[in-house]
Amino acid sequence: MSRIFLDNSATTPLDPVVLGAMTEVMANNYGNPSSIHAEGRQARALIENARKTVANALNCSIGEIFFTSGGTEANNMALKNSVRDLGVTRIISSPLEHHCVLHSLDAIKMAETATVEMVKIDAKGHVELDDLRRLLAASNEKTLVSLMHANNEIGNLLPLEEVAAICEEAGALFHCDTVQTMGYFPIDLDATRLSFLSGSAHKFYGPKGVGFVYISNDNIIKPYLDGGAQERNMRGGTENIYGIVGLAKALELAVAEREERAGKIRNLKDHFIRSIKATYPEVAFNGDPDNAHYKVLSVSFPESSKGDLLLMNLDLNGISASGGSACSSGIDVGSHVIGHLHPDSKRHTVRFSFSHHNTIEEVDEVIAKLGGML
């Protein structure tokens, strides 16, 4: 059975061109980037060329890009180091952030090194910007605002430029988790003031286990991982050279093909919305699909005896998607995002997330197969 992969918010398949770039390095560039001999210099050149690719994509300085093991490390670094090294005593975030942000904030609260406040979320899942302005005006403490560019479950988009301007006017630092949007939306860090930004390669058809953090030159922090002098003394440990090369190639392709890919994915998502509403009019969409990431769609199905098995039945029928149902029992922990937006709902939620590799025929097959599962 040929499987249909509609879980591209969780991860994306490795692009064959990226795989080719990585295997070439694996076969021919085994030097340690910290070594001063020819093999080491060749490895170092590959890393610095990759850094230049990322910096060019974001229109920032190469000295502001640091490679990490992924988005989780990048987010932890931005949040915890801003408290430890930059004098931040107050963080404003949202209850809908990714768990790596929320759990980092929990650790900061437990350590009592900074206070954490949550901005209000409206009925559709958007950050209430007036409440953000109110919170920023309520204190003169050094504050970091941490808000994600696109929610990983419902896809809602943050007005990045507007939030950056609000933070700049208030004198607050701004950290943005762009893991879901990197390579999908243009981000110009010369025009948009951010203090920290995070990305992860496997969300844009690159390898797992590698990402990066942007740290503005205005914010000098100390190493997050102690060790050697790698990443310009910011992150100890021999660099993941194959992963870094793969990340850069994947981002280069994503930027070059962004409009073409976006057009394909938008067409798929629109077709899915029209088809599922026509076939199952009782479904509902979570968040604000009209103002969301074009690859993400969170669908709630009516409560039924089969609903609890929906994800399993999709999988058994060769369809990969992910859950996001609100807590309906003591066993089902559910989604914190859907649980916050619809705390009393017992509907069954599935997140479908699309790729430019998907086809209209696959969407039609998913819609048809859903009939026997509801």
How many beta carbons lie within 10 A of that of residue 51, not counting itself? 22
3-class secondary-structure state, position 65: strand
- Are 151 and 122 contacting, i.e. CB atoms less than 8 angstroms apart? no
The alpha carbons of the chain give a radius of gyration, in whole angstroms, of 21
The tokens for 273 are 């919305």
The tokens for 360 are 């209209």
Q: Could you list the active site residues? A: 327
Beta-bridge partner residues of 352: 297
Q: Identify the burial level of 346 via C-beta atoms within 10 angstroms of its C-beta, where 0-12 means exposed, 13-18 middle and 19 or more buried.
A: middle
Q: Calculate the alpha carbon distances from 41 to 33, 62, 242, 288 in Å.
A: 6, 18, 15, 49
To which H or E segment does residue 27 belong?
helix 16-28
- Are 303 and 346 contacting, i.e. CB atoms less than 8 angstroms apart? yes
Alpha carbons within 13 angstroms on the beta-carbon side of residue 373 total 20
**Closest CA relative to residue 129, chosen from 97, 156, 98, 167:** 167
